[in-house]
């Protein structure tokens, strides 16, 4: 309504929100990405481009990354699909607990997962096998990290749609196997493909897992290669070109994902109570869900164990803890205390920024009628974090290494989660409620304060919580943009792992444990405040 | 399939502490439509799911003639079901939805196409064969659901409030349509509903269900003439029920249903004092009291049947109370 009157745009909250959202996107995402593109294309004539495409090293890189991402996707689906089907089929004791457990890898920082797998099957690992630098370990970590995506996306979709349709198929003469073939699987196919394409992107742009678990570099992704070009080789041109290639690939698969995602969002009718499993059902449940549960718990358990009993130690020792909390600078690394404070400062600052920008976005989309911003708010998700860091570095060199530079980068990565959470609650406010408020004398600002903000309350908590969790675990952009005394916990973990000696190794695990506990405590707090958010 | 009766005997079902069915007995002969009528939560949908085989009862049996169906899985029962939300397969076209059960029964392609065509024309769905369900209106979806359930020629058709998701006008229209269809096809059908008009319009017999039990099974007119007890009478909207304590004072053995509509204005009749009156459409509704009875009655009448001018508040109206105005309801154990 107000957008029709040009004078009203300037003063209405929707108009201001639209301008702010636009400004935020352009300055923090648009300009940096443009900088990457320009830098990438700058020196690149068709000749250099040709030689780069023909470069056997890069071909090898790309080939290995594609192989790794494909295998990761196949394995993740293979483990996640039975779990998803089981979730959609039965109601059983402990289902809520399992569902919560399966979200743990989702919110756990990659560095924690990496450290967990090191503690389990790294050098001196708990299980006594050393898989470091092997493809198997990379795949294992990616499956750990992503199978929850499949279980939740596919399982959630089927749980909402399948039970009644399964009943219908049964009354029409289809036995359970025929029902699976003719109803459940065709129904789940778009959701499954959407989940698989998401897993593929995650594995294709994987960063922390590879840096920690395959440090020799045999399975480095383009993302790692970009980082190495920036940090070690100081070749921003190559980095920008690689980033461009990766961006192109991610957009391709990302486009597939959003298209499929829209098909999955077909409105579904009310759910029906699911049956409890009889004994065969229980066996199936055990067989499908137990491996997932073990895979989720084992690395985290190993992390706790190895932080107290480092390899070679006789029993519980505080060696790692002492090393981790030694004052900063003494060993050329940051102390655990300082890293924790840094992490929390970034989390609070970027959480607040993400909250403000996310709400602004949602408000501009719903009340300002700027629909296209809806899709645009997803862009930061599609852009990998190292690329983002590189973009900020190129576009705003003065911000690099400053507190606010990294805080803004974290906020940009967290913003989509806030916008995603807030959008539906804002959309669910019926127009009649706004009309009622208007008739009662509330102008646009008062409506924002008294109608829209209360409606967003729960989703603000959920979205803001996710943004904070993202900031706590953020690794790629932090590594590119940080300065030694601003190192966060994930960066500190990586620093420690790069240094020789059992002390540093144990200290890294302690730091990872610390990060895991902070994240977990935070998620529990969030759950108390307002329930879990949905992606 | 000659004259076999579906017999439901002592069926019990509970979910934890909730007893959804507490010993249900019901017979459905071939060719009859039974409406299962009751308030929400009375167990009617559970009974339907048990009959379809989607749930196994804790106790009791379901027999079709000699055959015991109780433990037979749903896919081998030959039961058709129309779900409340239709449950059409969103990934299949209208024709594929209707053909779903025929494929399971192994019909040949040409037989299948013929049968699907037959049903689509029966349901006036010609031309929609290739549409997806979400592109159809509510009424069309309902017809597809019905066609899909009927296609494999089920021995029992179950309808779970199939009209409740539709708006009023469409519902009335489809009620008539469905009623004609069910009697034409001479199917055995059980129709769950909480809407009396629907139940009476569609069914040969109406079964009244309350708290997991079937209280009474009778044709519509019998149900109105002789409701089983005070609860059934009030559920059917028969308003003037004289509670047991008062009825005993008047000399009856139990609660009584007073058929106020059978009262006639008659100057020789009993005197009723007018305590209130309102217009209800074209009728006047009086609130009346007579010294002999310790309760008010509501009496509805066309103004032209009244003495002129019509009596107002405080006036006396003389009404004849015929003997058949009293129906003794069953005394509860």
Min Cα–Cα distance to chain A from B47, Å: 15
pLDDT at B294 over 80: yes
Q: Note the pLDDT of residue A47.
A: 67
Closest alpha carbon within chain A to B148: A172
A93 touches chain B (CB under 8 A): no
Q: Give the 3-state secondary structure of residue A278.
A: coil
Closest alpha carbon within chain B to A270: B85
CA–CA gap between residue A356 and residue A350 (Å, rounded): 10
A288: phi then psi, degrees, rounded to nearest 5: -90, -40
- Tell if the CB–CB gap between B104 and A172 is shorter than 8 Å: yes
Min Cα–Cα distance to chain B from A96, Å: 19
- Tell if the CB–CB gap between B85 and A165 is shorter than 8 Å: no
Closest alpha carbon within chain A to B76: A173
Distances (CA, A) of A191 to A120, A183, A261, A408: 33, 14, 7, 33
CB count, 10 Å around CB of A258?
13
- The alpha-helical segments, DSSP class H, found in B236-331 are 244-249
Query: For residue range B127-156, what is the model confidence (pLDDT) as tens digits?
Result: 999 999 888 998 899 899 999 999 999 989
Please give the angle made by the CA atoms of A485, A486 and A492, to the nearest 5 degrees. Answer: 85
- A368 and A14 Cβ atoms separated by less than 8 Å: yes
Residue with tokens 């459940």: A184
Q: A100-119 burial, b for 16+ CB within 10 Å, e for fewer?
A: ebbbbbebbbbbbbbbbbbb
Distances (CA, A) of A234 to A227, A250, A397, A416, B22: 9, 24, 14, 31, 79
- B101 and B120 Cβ atoms separated by less than 8 Å: no
pLDDT-based confidence at residue B106 (cuts at 50, 70, 90): very high
Q: Give contacts of A 182-201 with B, CB under 8 A.
A: 182-183, 186-187
Which residues have CB under 8 Å from A436's CB, separation 6+? none
- A493 and A323 Cβ atoms separated by less than 8 Å: no
ipTM for the predicted complex comes to 0.79
Residue with tokens 């719903």: A366
Tokens of B189: 């059908």
Chain B residues with beta carbon closer than 8 angstroms to that of A191: none
A170 touches chain B (CB under 8 A): yes
Identify the H or E element spanning A129: none
Please give the angle made by the CA atoms of B270, B273 and B277, to the nearest 5 degrees. Answer: 125
Nearest C-alpha neighbor of A376 from the set A2, A6, A23: A23
In a 13 Å sphere around the CA of A368, the CA atoms on its Cβ side amount to 29
CA–CA gap between residue B202 and residue A29 (Å, rounded): 64
Query: For residue range A175-197, what is the model confidence (pLDDT) as tens digits?
Result: 888 988 898 888 888 888 888 98
Closest Cβ–Cβ partner in A170, A187, A269 for B54: A170
Tokens of A414: 């967290």
- The alpha-helical segments, DSSP class H, found in B11-137 are 44-52, 94-104, 109-122
Query: For residue range A285-316, what is the model confidence (pLDDT) as tens digits?
Result: 777 788 888 888 888 899 888 888 887 777 77
Total-model pTM: 0.76
Chain A residues with beta carbon closer than 8 angstroms to that of B103: 182
CA–CA gap between residue B56 and residue A460 (Å, rounded): 45
Which of A308-312, B23-27, B184-188, B306-310 has maximum average pLDDT?
B23-27
Instruction: Give the distance from CA A315 to its chain's centroid.
Output: 36
CA–CA gap between residue A325 and residue A331 (Å, rounded): 11
Tokens of A7: 């004078």
- Tell if the CB–CB gap between B73 and A172 is shorter than 8 Å: no
Nearest C-alpha neighbor of B290 from the set B275, B262, B266, B271: B271
- A258 and A377 Cβ atoms separated by less than 8 Å: no
Please give the angle made by the CA atoms of A348, A334 and A105, to the nearest 5 degrees. Answer: 55
Chain A residues with beta carbon closer than 8 angstroms to that of B134: 266-267
B104 touches chain A (CB under 8 A): yes
- Tell if the CB–CB gap between B148 and A270 is shorter than 8 Å: no
CA–CA gap between residue B175 and residue B183 (Å, rounded): 12
- A471 and A351 Cβ atoms separated by less than 8 Å: yes
CA–CA gap between residue B26 and residue A263 (Å, rounded): 45
Residue with tokens 């190559």: A238
Sign of the torsion angle spanned by Cα atoms B298, B300, B305, B308 = positive
Min Cα–Cα distance to chain B from A162, Å: 9
Angle formed by the axes of helices A279-308 and A110-121, to 10°?
90
Tokens of B71: 């433990």
- Tell if the CB–CB gap between B81 and A269 is shorter than 8 Å: no
Which residues have CB under 8 Å from A95's CB, separation 6+? A87
Distance in angstroms between the alpha carbons of the first and the last residue of chain A? 31
Residue with tokens 């750990």: A144
Query: For residue range B171-199, what is the model confidence (pLDDT) as tens digits?
Result: 788 888 888 888 888 889 999 988 888 88
Query: For residue range B81-95, what is the model confidence (pLDDT) as tens digits?
Result: 998 888 898 889 999
Instruction: Give the distance from CA A11 to its chain's centroid.
Output: 36
- Tell if the CB–CB gap between A164 and B74 is shorter than 8 Å: no
Please give the angle made by the CA atoms of A260, B103 and B159, to the nearest 5 degrees. Answer: 85
CA–CA gap between residue B244 and residue B268 (Å, rounded): 29
A9: phi then psi, degrees, rounded to nearest 5: -55, -45
What string of pLDDT tens digits covers the 535 residues of chain A?
444 444 444 467 777 888 888 888 888 888 888 888 888 777 666 666 677 677 787 788 888 889 999 999 999 999 888 888 888 878 887 787 887 788 788 778 888 889 999 889 888 778 888 888 899 999 999 999 888 888 878 887 787 777 888 889 999 999 888 988 898 888 888 888 888 988 998 899 889 888 888 888 888 888 898 888 887 777 777 778 778 778 877 778 877 777 776 666 554 444 556 667 777 777 777 777 888 888 888 888 998 888 888 877 777 788 878 888 877 766 567 888 889 999 999 999 999 999 998 888 888 888 887 777 777 777 777 778 888 888 888 888 888 888 998 999 999 888 888 888 888 888 888 888 888 888 888 888 888 888 888 888 888 888 888 889 889 989 988 888 888 888 999 999 998 888 888 888 888 889 999 999 898 888 878 777 765 444 3
Min Cα–Cα distance to chain A from B151, Å: 9
Identify the H or E element spanning A85: helix A56-89
B307: phi then psi, degrees, rounded to nearest 5: -60, 155
Residue A452: DSSP 8-state: I
CA–CA gap between residue B224 and residue B204 (Å, rounded): 14
Q: Note the pLDDT of residue A2.
A: 43
């Amino acid at each position: 309504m107000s957008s029709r009157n040009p004078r009203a745009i300037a003063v209405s909250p929707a108009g201001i929100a639209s301008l702010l959202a636009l400004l935020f996107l352009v300055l923090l995402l648009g300009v940096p990405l443009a900088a990457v593109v320009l830098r990438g294309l700058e020196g690149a004539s068709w000749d250099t481009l040709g030689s780069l495409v023909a470069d056997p090293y890069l071909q090898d890189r790309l080939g290995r990354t594609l192989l790794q991402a494909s295998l990761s996707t196949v394995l993740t689906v293979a483990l996640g699909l039975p779990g998803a089907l089981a979730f959609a089929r039965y109601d059983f004791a402990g289902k809520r607990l399992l569902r919560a457990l399966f979200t743990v890898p989702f919110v756990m920082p990659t560095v924690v997962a990496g450290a967990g797998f090191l503690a389990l099957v790294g050098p001196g690992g708990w299980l006594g096998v050393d898989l470091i630098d092997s493809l198997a370990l990379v795949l294992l970590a990616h499956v750990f990290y992503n199978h929850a995506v499949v279980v939740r996306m596919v399982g959630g979709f089927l749980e909402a749609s399948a039970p009644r349709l399964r009943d219908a198929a049964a009354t029409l003469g289809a036995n359970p196997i025929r029902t699976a073939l003719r109803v459940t699987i065709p129904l789940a196919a778009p959701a499954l493909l959407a989940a698989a394409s998401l897993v593929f992107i995650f594995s294709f742009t994987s960063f922390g897992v590879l840096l920690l678990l395959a440090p020799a570099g045999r399975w480095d992704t383009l993302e790692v290669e970009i980082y190495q070009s920036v940090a070690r080789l100081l070749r921003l041109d190559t980095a920008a070109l690689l980033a461009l290639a990766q961006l192109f690939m991610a957009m391709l698969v990302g486009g597939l994902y959003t298209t499929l995602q829209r098909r999955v969002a077909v409105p579904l009718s009310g759910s029906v109570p699911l049956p409890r499993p009889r004994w065969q059902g229980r066996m199936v449940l055990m067989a499908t869900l137990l491996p997932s549960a073990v895979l989720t718990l084992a690395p985290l358990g190993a992390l706790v164990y190895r932080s107290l009993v480092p390899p070679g130690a006789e029993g519980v020792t505080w060696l790692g803890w002492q090393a981790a909390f030694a004052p900063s600078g003494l060993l050329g690394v940051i102390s655990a205390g300082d890293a924790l404070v840094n992490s929390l400062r970034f989390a609070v600052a970027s959480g607040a920024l993400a909250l403000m920008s996310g709400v602004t976005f949602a408000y501009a989309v719903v009340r300002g009628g700027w629909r296209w911003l809806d899709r645009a708010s997803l862009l930061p998700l599609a852009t990998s974090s190292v690329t983002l860091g590189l973009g900020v570095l190129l576009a705003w060199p003065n911000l690099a290494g400053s507190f606010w530079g990294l805080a803004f980068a974290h906020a940009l990565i967290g913003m989509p989660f806030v916008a995603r959470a807030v959008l539906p609650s804002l959309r669910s406010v019926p127009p009649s409620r706004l009309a009622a408020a208007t008739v009662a004398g509330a102008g646009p600002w008062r409506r924002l304060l008294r109608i829209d903000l209360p409606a967003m309350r729960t989703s603000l908590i959920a979205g803001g919580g996710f943004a904070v969790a993202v900031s706590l675990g953020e690794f790629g952009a932090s590594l590119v943009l940080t300065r030694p005394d601003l190192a966060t916990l994930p960066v500190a973990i990586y620093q420690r792992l790069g240094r020789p000696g059992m002390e540093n190794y144990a200290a890294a695990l302690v730091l990872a444990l610390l990060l895991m506990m902070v994240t977990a405590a935070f998620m529990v707090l969030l759950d108390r405040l307002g329930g879990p958010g949905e992606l | 399939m000659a004259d076999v009766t579906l017999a439901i005997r002592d069926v019990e079902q509970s979910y934890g502490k909730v007893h959804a069915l507490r010993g249900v007995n019901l017979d459905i002969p071939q060719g009859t439509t039974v409406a299962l009528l009751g308030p929400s939560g009375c167990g009617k949908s559970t009974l339907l799911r048990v009959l379809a085989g989607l749930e196994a009862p804790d106790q009791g049996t379901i027999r079709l003639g000699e055959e015991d169906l109780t433990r037979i899985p749903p896919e081998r029962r030959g039961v058709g079901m129309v779900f409340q939300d239709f449950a059409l397969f969103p990934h299949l076209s209208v024709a594929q939805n209707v053909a779903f059960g025929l494929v399971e029964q192994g019909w040949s392609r040409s037989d299948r196409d013929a049968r699907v065509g037959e049903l689509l024309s029966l349901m006036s769905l010609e031309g929609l064969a290739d549409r997806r369900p979400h592109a159809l209106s509510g009424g069309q979806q309902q017809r597809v659901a019905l066609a899909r359930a009927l296609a494999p020629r089920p021995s029992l058709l179950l309808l779970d409030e199939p009209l409740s998701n539709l708006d009023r006008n469409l519902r009335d229209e489809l009620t008539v349509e469905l009623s004609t269809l069910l009697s034409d096809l001479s199917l055995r059908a059980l129709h769950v509903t909480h809407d009396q008009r629907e139940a009476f319009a569609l069914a040969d017999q109406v079964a009244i269900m309350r708290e997991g039990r079937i209280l009474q099974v009778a044709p519509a007119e019998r149900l109105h003439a002789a409701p089983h007890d005070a609860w059934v009478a009030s559920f059917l909207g028969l308003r003037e029920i004289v509670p047991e304590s008062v009825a005993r004072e008047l000399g009856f053995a139990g609660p009584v249903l007073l058929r106020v509509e059978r009262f006639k204005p008659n100057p020789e009749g009993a005197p009723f004092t007018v305590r209130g009156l309102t217009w209800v459409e074209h009728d006047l509704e009086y609130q009346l009291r007579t010294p002999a009875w310790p309760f008010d009655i509501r009496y509805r009448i066309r103004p032209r049947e009244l003495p002129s001018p019509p009596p107002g508040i405080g006036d006396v109206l003389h009404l004849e109370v015929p003997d058949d105005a009293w129906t003794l309801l069953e005394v509860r154990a």
